[in-house]
Chain A
Amino acid sequence: MPEIPHDIITAAAQGDAAAFETIYRGCAGLVYSTACRIVNNRESAAEVTQEVFIAVYRKLPSFAFRSSFTTWLYRISVNAAINQARKTAREQGGIVTYDEQTMAVPTMEATDDALEREPKRQLIARLLTALNPDQRACIVLRNIDGLSYEEIAATLEINVNTVRSRLKRAREKLIAIRSREDRHAV
């Protein structure tokens, strides 16, 4: 988790544009990556990232340091991404599909390294698509971002047992998908 110094947060809360840009530069990757994996679409993730930073700009004056800044930012980001994922699911009649084209296009030049990583990227996107947005958020926060159960609970404002049960159900689904894929491959 990136740590932003308190004086930068305080300065940004008082309207210091340079301090706000420092926050953006330090946290945009985290917000965008998390959003990408929850909404499973780069274009939507870019929109979510934009909305998250506008919300942060508006809410910063009321940020009272009761939780860590990163937990607060995660909460805004994950909630925005889950809402976007639910909205997309509703629009598609409850079927969330893996947007292969948008997820498969690397942001940087297609170097050999990037091309080599692409199948792994697609595998992650395909696995996450099988989950509902709440389960997806738990898997992203735990397996990719490495948050503890307590940090996930604080971010999603749920209790630790709910985190555990969401992870369990999500992982049961992922195992079922992989074994089905393995059977088809044989």
Chain B
Amino acid sequence: MPCEKIQDRLLTDHLDGRLSKAEHEKIAAHLKDCATCREFAEIAKTTLLEPFAEAEQLTPPASVWQAVRQRIAAEPRPQASPLRAFLGKLLALPVARKPALVLAGVVSVALLTAILLRQPNPCNLPGVVNLENQIDYVAALVGEDDDDNEGLETDIEQYFL
């Protein structure tokens, strides 16, 4: 790899610890043999990392919060939609922060739904069909389906009436 490319990598991925093991080894081998790039790597480290390493967090003056508080007091109260509020509460649940658990839950519900939908309708079971056929057969034997039979003709009816 030419020095120019090595120096590009030194300024970015190498300095920020983003190189793969293989790339890192390739650059280390180059630095071992090339004094110019070795010096460049040292300058990059001292110039680009060290000055920023101890940068502390700054604190805003108290007047900033006072101004913010006054301004928001004069603003209309923000209105979150009920859906967003619900979403916020849902995401606040510890389980929502574990995507694997959420995915497992969704897959379980989908599987359960699919299994239930694939269950045969009890009315279409072969046993039920046979039973219905048998009822029809018996009805035919006793003449229930005979439209001309209006009643008051059988012996039993005559007995009760």
B71 within 8 A of A: yes
Asked whether A117 lies within 8 Å of B56 as measured between CB atoms, the reply is: yes
B49 within 8 A of A: yes
Within 8 A of B (CB), among A105-162: 107-108, 117, 120-121, 123-124, 127, 139, 142-144, 149
With contacts A10-B85, A20-B72, A49-B60 taken as known, whether A171 is within 8 angstroms of B51 at the C-beta atoms is: no
Asked whether A60 lies within 8 Å of B91 as measured between CB atoms, the reply is: no
**Closest chain B residue to A172 by CB distance?**
B11
Within 8 A of B (CB), among A90-111: 107-108
Asked whether A50 lies within 8 Å of B67 as measured between CB atoms, the reply is: yes
The interface residues of chain A lying within 8 Å CB-to-CB of B68 are: 24, 50, 53-54, 57
Candidates B12, B13, B60, B89; contact of A28 at CB < 8 Å: B60
A74 within 8 A of B: no
Asked whether A10 lies within 8 Å of B80 as measured between CB atoms, the reply is: yes
Asked whether B85 lies within 8 Å of A143 as measured between CB atoms, the reply is: no
The interface residues of chain B lying within 8 Å CB-to-CB of A108 are: 59
A58 within 8 A of B: yes
**Closest chain A residue to B55 by CB distance?**
A144
Task: Report the separation of the CA atoms of residues A6 and B93 in the bound assembly, to the nearest whole angstrom.
Answer: 9
Bitwise interface map of B from 60 to 73 toward A, beta carbon under 8 Å scored 1, else 0: 11011101110110
The interface residues of chain A lying within 8 Å CB-to-CB of B47 are: 174-175, 178
Asked whether B12 lies within 8 Å of A168 as measured between CB atoms, the reply is: yes
The total of interchain contacts (Cβ-Cβ below 8 angstroms) comes to: 135
The interface residues of chain A lying within 8 Å CB-to-CB of B26 are: none
Asked whether A175 lies within 8 Å of B8 as measured between CB atoms, the reply is: no
Asked whether B92 lies within 8 Å of A7 as measured between CB atoms, the reply is: yes
Bitwise interface map of B from 30 to 65 toward A, beta carbon under 8 Å scored 1, else 0: 000000000000011001110110111111110111
Candidates A20, A37, A64, A124; contact of B84 at CB < 8 Å: A64
Bitwise interface map of B from 69 to 101 toward A, beta carbon under 8 Å scored 1, else 0: 101100101111100110111011000000000
The interface residues of chain A, by DSSP majority, are classed as helix
The interface size bin for chain A is 35 or more
Asked whether B52 lies within 8 Å of A143 as measured between CB atoms, the reply is: yes
Asked whether A10 lies within 8 Å of B58 as measured between CB atoms, the reply is: no
Task: Report the separation of the CA atoms of residues A107 and B8 in the bound assembly, to the nearest whole angstrom.
Answer: 38
Bitwise interface map of B from 121 to 154 toward A, beta carbon under 8 Å scored 1, else 0: 0000000000000000000000000000000000
Asked whether A61 lies within 8 Å of B84 as measured between CB atoms, the reply is: yes
**Closest chain A residue to B88 by CB distance?**
A10
With contacts A144-B52, A164-B13 taken as known, whether A14 is within 8 angstroms of B60 at the C-beta atoms is: no
The interface residues of chain A lying within 8 Å CB-to-CB of B44 are: 171, 175
Candidates A37, A61, A142; contact of B79 at CB < 8 Å: A61
Task: Report the separation of the CA atoms of residues A139 and B52 in the bound assembly, to the nearest whole angstrom.
Answer: 9
The interface residues of chain A lying within 8 Å CB-to-CB of B87 are: 64-65
A179 within 8 A of B: yes
Asked whether A36 lies within 8 Å of B58 as measured between CB atoms, the reply is: yes
Q: Which residues of B contact A (CB under 8 A)?
A: 8, 11-13, 15-16, 18, 43-44, 47-49, 51-52, 54-61, 63-65, 67-69, 71-72, 75, 77-81, 84-85, 87-89, 91-92
9 CB contacts below 8 A, A to B, read: A7-B89, A24-B65, A28-B65, A61-B78, A61-B79, A64-B87, A107-B58, A144-B52, A171-B15
